[in-house]
Amino acid sequence: MNDLEHMRRACGHVLAEAIVSLFPDAKLGPGPSVEDGFSYDFELPRRLTPADLRTIEERMAGIVKRDAPLVLSVMPRDEARRLFAERGQPYKVALIDDLDADLVRIYRQSDFVDLWSGPLVASTREIGAFKLLNVTDAPWRDDPNRPLLQRVHGTAFPTQGELAAHVARLEEAARRDHRRLGRELDLFSFSDEVGPGLVLWHPNGGRIITAIETYWRDVHERAGYEPVFTPNIGRGRLWETSGHLQFFQESMFPGMAVDGHEYYVKPMSCPFHIQIYKSSVRSYRDLPIRLGELTNVYRYERAGVLHGLLRARGFKQDDAHIFCRPDQAFAEVLGVIDLTLQILGAFGFSDYRVFLSTRPQKALGAAEQWHLAEDALRRALDARHLPYEVDAGGGAFYGPKIDLKIRDALGRYWQCMTIQFDFNLPERFDVSYVAEDGREHRPYMLHRAILGSMERFIGVLIEHYAGAFPVWLAPVQARLIPIADRHTAFCEQIRQRLVDAGIRADLDARSQRVSYRIREAQLQKIPYMLIVGDRELDAGMVAVRLRTGEDLGPRSIDAVLGLIRQIIDSRAQHLV
Ligand code: ZN
């Protein structure tokens, strides 16, 4: 922890003191560490309101001004237990019971005491600028039988200027929140009837997915991937062999009995693709084999961690598995990296962080396999001049991997591509090919996803573009707006011409004023508005307005069609 974190932690203590002074019966829970700030869980007699947060902040400012030293005392566990029991703090007592230490560290500021195992700033006076942000529910130890605690989130910085900049960033993130934009742009929803974490894609969202899938299939075909389709459920025996039931079961939905056999909804597609590989004898000449699929997988996530599209219980994975000979491993990794840069580039991402995770202490597979695989991953990254950080020993027990994160418009990083070698599943499923020596050998197997989860990726896209997608992804690319009823038939003709040219175009012939309909199309972030009045009708033209507010004036239908087509085909970020 650095000085800033010590200060934020101390700010949490000051928050707790302020709460106790306002609510003498408050029970103090843990203060979980958070990025860029602090948080603290409380059991309180009532729900905190935004007005409460302002009152608490004022109380905190008073405590900071008091310049109270934060005094550490180290005491035996029993003594600490007694101290918090006397103060009516059962959660603190439970936290002490959890500690694996004979001595407990207690910090005191004036009459207030709190538990904390690390260092803090010396005095409340050293706390800089802070702000309380919001209150969320916090389950106590995931126990559904206990009342939810209230988690107060705050942020703190050394100076007022840094705090203001951070709060502005948070407001921008809230403005771009994909759940809010998902509603406003009518992209997707969730339904309690269907279940939490299960996304319902509306037509507008469906159009984005279709655009992405069409592109994905096209570039994969060119890159030598073969399309496969596999079921959503498979027998327990399969997941037994794959090891999922042993190592991954808590992330799987419970099984269901069919004809006396247990079946499971798939959390991954790997065992299915292996069955396809194994459906015939493979020779060294057949390799590499690249099987790709866009498919739904389901994973159990606790309700508390679900977060819109970014963390769902069902999602579409752009999954592929590559089976190759050892001498092909480097070229295959390089191929995946090139495909990744091409695909992510098409979505407007070019700033990456790359991580290479290498062999852990406990690992399956021979040392020379690991060496070859790690070498292939390294050389491929070097060949494309991609700087990377090495997580030495951080690989899975069954193989090394590369992870790639993309940087979005707000400077946040999101995990996307993974290339993972696997020395485990080929053994478990006895996967082989006949080599030049006429004998059976194990192929190298690579799992790879480039977008990761389609749901999550679109969630990131929504926030990255604040809903104003590049034209090739926009659910509706052009909207025809007739000024009066007598212009509608001509608009409909133009709309059909655009649709025939593969452009997603619709028509807004409602009776509202033109300015209202233009404003609405702009709010829907529709790139092009094509307006037809008497003048345009006579000249056989349309007046072109952009979602940015720019007015391109009258253009011929051919010119507009050519412009939109060219912007779509080049996957440009701009509109003209
Ligand atoms: Zn896989």
Sheet holding 256-258: strands in order across? Answer: 233-235, 261-265, 256-258
Domain limits of the chain? 3-175, 203-230+266-457, 478-570
CATH number belonging to the domain at 203-230+266-457, selected among 3.90.1150.10, 3.30.930.10, 3.40.1590.10, 3.30.230.10: 3.30.930.10
Confirm if 139 and 304 have CB atoms less than 8 A apart. yes
| Alpha-helix residue ranges (DSSP H) falling in 138-187 | 160-175, 178-184
The rounded Å distance from CA 319 to ligand 1 centre is 7
Report the distance separating Cα 76 and Cα 101, nearest Å. 9
* Res 15: pLDDT: 96
Q: What separation in Å is there between the alpha carbon of 463 and the centre of ligand 1?
A: 28
**Alpha carbon distance 403, 301 (integer Å):** 22
Asked if 239 and 264 count as a contact pair (C-beta separation under 8 A), the reply is yes
The pLDDT, as a whole number, for residue 341 is 96
The kind and range of the H/E element at 27 are strand 27-28
Residue-level pLDDT at 384: 96
Residue 303 confidence (pLDDT): 83
What pLDDT score does 385 carry?
A: 95
The number of residues making up the chain comes to 576
Question: With helix as H, strand as E and coil as C, how does 270-289 read?
Answer: HHHHHHHHCCCCCECCCCCE
Model pLDDT, residue 119: 87
Alpha-carbon gap, residue 246 to 225, rounded angstroms: 31
- pLDDT value of position 139: 83
CB 559 within 8 A of CB 530: no
CB atoms within 10 A of CB 531: 22
Fold of 3-175: Threonyl-tRNA Synthetase; Chain A, domain 2 (3.30.980)
pLDDT for 506 equals 97
The Cα 553–Cα 531 span in angstroms is: 10
Q: What is the DSSP string of 229-255?
A: ---SEEEHHHHHHHTHHHHTGGGSPPP
Centre of ligand 1 from the C-alpha of residue 320, in Å: 7
CA pair distance 530, 264, nearest whole angstrom: 51
Question: Low-confidence residues of the chain, pLDDT below 50?
Answer: none
pLDDT at 144: 72
Phi, psi dihedrals of residue 314, rounded to the nearest 5°: -135, 135
Structure tokens, 427: 């053994």
d(CA 339, CA 223): 8
- The rounded Å distance from CA 232 to ligand 1 centre is 14
CB atoms within 10 A of CB 186: 13
Dist. CA 431 → ligand 1 center (Å): 14
- pLDDT score of 2: 78
Measured in Å, residue 337 CA sits from the centre of ligand 1 at 17
Pick the CATH number of 478-570 from 3.40.50.800, 3.90.180.10, 1.10.8.50, 2.130.10.10: 3.40.50.800
**Counting beta carbons within 10 angstroms of the beta carbon of residue 214, is it exposed (0 to 12), middle (13 to 18) or buried (19 or more)?**
exposed
pLDDT value of position 33:
86
Q: How far apart are CA 117 and CA 94, in angstroms?
A: 15
Residue-by-residue DSSP string for 132-149:
EEEEEEE-STT-TTSPPE
Ligand 1 centroid, distance to 354 Cα (angstroms): 20
Return the closest-CA partner of residue 19 out of 69, 68, 53: 53
Contacts of 551 (CB under 8 A, 6+ apart): 543, 544, 545
Catalytic residue set: 270, 299, 317, 319, 321, 401, 447
- Alpha-carbon distance of 481 to 518, in angstroms, equals 8
Phi and psi of 189, rounded to 5°?
A: -155, 175
Q: What does the block give as tokens for 330?
A: 């480097």
> How far is ligand 1, taken at its centre, from the CA of residue 420, in Å?
8
DSSP 58: H
Q: How much is the pLDDT for 1?
A: 61
Gap from CA of 216 to ligand 1 centroid (Å): 18
In the block, which residue shows the tokens 């990296």?
Answer: 337
In the chain, the largest separation of any two C-alpha atoms, in whole Å, equals 91
**Cα of 421 to ligand 1 centre, how many Å?**
10
Distance CA 26, CA 44 (A): 5
Q: Is 166 exposed, middle or buried (0-12, 13-18, 19+ CB in 10 A)?
A: middle
List Cα–Cα distances, 288 to 282, 368, 520, in angstroms.
10, 20, 51
